[in-house]
Amino acid sequence: MARRRISRNTAVLITGASAVLATVLMRATLDRGYRAARRRAPPKDPADPGVDWQEALAWTVASSLVIGLGRLLARRSASAGLRRAGYLPAPRDE
């Protein structure tokens, strides 16, 4: 089976779109998990003076970790899927 080539922009678009979708899904999951664990809504703005330090730090660390990992997994999965399907990004012009 011959390898098909797609432009680098198309590959970036596919992997970027998967990262955005993963971010939206991870954020929704994170919000639900926070509500279940803390019995209240997560802070909308952790920098707000009305939010205590412990809650602000916990939310910031949890959301950064979960969303960052979700985006990484989505981009790597999309890249691997493109390769398995026989699509490779065009070589870079250097």
22 within domain boundaries: yes
Q: What is the pLDDT of residue 40?
A: 86
Q: Could you tell me the residue range of the domain that residue 42 belongs to? A: 4-85
> Interior CA angle at 68 toward 29 and 28, to 5°?
15
Total domains, the chain: 1
73 within domain boundaries: yes
> Interior CA angle at 88 toward 93 and 68, to 5°?
90
39-89 residue pLDDT tens: 888 888 888 999 999 989 988 888 888 888 888 888 888 888 777 777 765
Q: What is the pLDDT of residue 3?
A: 63
71 within domain boundaries: yes
Local confidence band at 93 (pLDDT 50, 70, 90 cut-offs): low
91 within domain boundaries: no
90 within domain boundaries: no
pTM to 2 decimal places? 0.64
Handedness of CA 58, 62, 65, 71 (dihedral sign): negative
60 within domain boundaries: yes
45 within domain boundaries: yes
> Interior CA angle at 26 toward 33 and 44, to 5°?
65
75 within domain boundaries: yes
